[in-house]
Amino acid sequence: MSLGPYGLGTAPLGGLFAQVDEEQAERTLAAAWAAGIRYFDTAPHYGTGLAEERLGRFLRGLPGGGAGEAIVSTKVGRVLVPGEGEEDGFPGRTQYVRVRDYSRDGVLRSLEDSMRRTGLDHFGAVFVHDPDEHWEQAAGEAFPALAELRDQGVVGAIGAGMNQTAMLTRFVRETDVDVVLVAGRYTLLDRSAEEELLPECARRGVAVVVGGVFNSGVLAGGGTYDYAAAPPEVLDRAREMARVCESYGVPLPAAALRFPHRHPAVDTVLIGARSAEEITEDLELAAADIPDALWDDLEGLGHAG
């Protein structure tokens, strides 16, 4: 896969934390496309299918078969069934219930549903999504099912997407993954992925996609860390990082966006944007000139998780 240095994560377009209307979602996707982004990551979990639906509509509306240039990844592990569900971080759409299912049948059903929602007949990558308490079923059923689909050409790469590194490392060592998506664990604040996961991926030729580079907001001036209120000590470290960056004339979010690319195992960084303006701003930040000395000064403020 050639994903490019930055891709678009669509959780915000599914309404993560706050609802996004159709027009705003369309303009966000259009801005990403116009800026040259061709990799889009989505999941049934994001707004109980809303992010997949919106991404699919956008891609189908591109002129001249432009959708063929896109690489789309989605996820399996949460099957959506009709019913009165919970928001689970995505307010506004509660007519579906998320059911954890890492079985072979669950994987096949999930992918069939994702293809229907997006209108796609192929995904560039499929991740097993957050199988934290489901190792046996994920490794024993989900991955073999995905491997068969990969052999059939229905999907491209297969892997796992998680907010932790220990199980991702185990997947890399014990299954035939092509790619991992690690969220929030290789950032300026939390560098735990560099202990085992990234070296193991480098040794085995497994591609790495990094998400959650702002740790859900605190590294972009917000007050959330890993989808909850940031603890005081985390806020203090983020403020100190901002002060150090300011001394070099560099915005903290610019350093946060660029940091993961300093590791040779990292292929792509996901940007999670909910507006066209955020796309423009993030890509401008990502292009900022950052002196090597700044990285040295920030080194001591990170930790291993």
Query: CA distances (Å), 74 to each of 31, 179, 240, 304, in order?
Result: 21, 13, 36, 28
Task: Dihedral sign for Cα 1, 70, 256, 239, please.
Answer: negative
- CB-based contact 58:88 (threshold 8 Å): no
Pairing of strands 123-129, 96-100: unpaired
Which of 132, 209, 145, 215 lies closest to 171 in space, CA to CA?
132
46 is catalytic: yes
Please tell me which residue in 46, 96, 102, 186 is annotated as part of the active site: 46
Angle subtended at Cα 127 by Cα 24 and Cα 2, rounded to the nearest 5 degrees: 75
Task: Name every residue whose Cβ is closer than 8 Å to that of residue 195 and which is 6 or more positions away in sequence.
Answer: 165, 304
C-alpha to C-alpha distance for 57 and 36, rounded to whole angstroms: 18
Residue with structure tokens 């209120």? 229
| DSSP letter (8 states) at residue 230 | P
Structure tokens at 38: 């061709």
Structure tokens at 240: 């100190």
C-alpha to C-alpha distance for 146 and 149, rounded to whole angstroms: 5
- In angstroms, the first-to-last Cα distance of the chain is 29
Which residues have a catalytic role annotated?
Answer: 46
